[in-house]
Amino acid sequence: MAETADEDRFLPQQAPIDAVQDTGFRFGGMSHQGSLMALPGRTQAWVPPDSAFDLSAEALRPILDQADTIDIVVIGTGADIAVLPEATLTALRDTGLAVEISATRAAVRTYNILLSEDRRVAAALMTLK
C-alpha cells in the first residue's frame, strides 16, 4: 500500500477542536494523532519541527499561501508557550496576518472562539508531547 503524505490526510472543512490530547486532537467526530493545521475549507495533519523555536515560515506555507482568506493565525506551541523565530513572525506579518501565539491548549480555546464568531482564522497546533 502506498504511503499517504500528511497533507493528503484532511477533513474537507474547517472544524472546531473538541479535545486536546497529549499526542493529538479530537475534531469533526474523529481522533487525530499528531499536530494539526486548520485552514479555511480544511483541517489537516501537519508535521512541524520538533520545537516551536525552529518553526519556519516554510513549515507554515499552507497558511501563507492562503493569507488573503485569513485575518488571524493562532499558533499553539505545545505544552508551553514559546517564542517563534523573528523571521517566521516577519513572514506572517508581512502578509497582513495578525498572529496569536500561546501554549496549544490556550490556542485551541482561542481558535474555537474565533471560529464560532465566523472570523477568518487559521491555526497551526503542535501536540503537547
pLDDT tier, 38 (very low <50, low <70, confident <90, very high otherwise): very high
Q: What is the predicted pLDDT for the residue at 8? A: 56
Class of domain 10-125: alpha beta
The rounded distance, in Å, linking the Cα atoms of 64 and 80 is 24
Q: What is the predicted pLDDT for the residue at 10? A: 73
Q: What is the mean pLDDT of the chain?
A: 93
Kindly give, in sequence order, each residue whose CB lies less than 8 Å from that of residue 57, ignoring residues fewer than 6 positions away: 64, 87, 88, 91, 92
Between vectors from CA 35 to CA 30 and to CA 38, what angle results, nearest 5°? 70
**Mean pLDDT on 97-119:** 98
- C-alpha grid cell for residue 71? 485575518
This prediction has a pTM of 0.91
**Where would I find the H helices in 10-129?**
61-65, 86-94, 104-116
Kindly give, in sequence order, each residue whose CB lies less than 8 Å from that of residue 21, ignoring residues fewer than 6 positions away: 31, 128
**Mean pLDDT on 11-37:** 94
**Mean pLDDT on 56-72:** 97
Residue 4 has pLDDT above 70, yes or no: no
Q: What is the predicted pLDDT for the residue at 52? A: 96
pLDDT tier, 9 (very low <50, low <70, confident <90, very high otherwise): low
Please name every residue paired with 25 in a beta bridge, in sequence order, or none if there are none.
20, 32
Contact 64, 124 (CB under 8 A): no
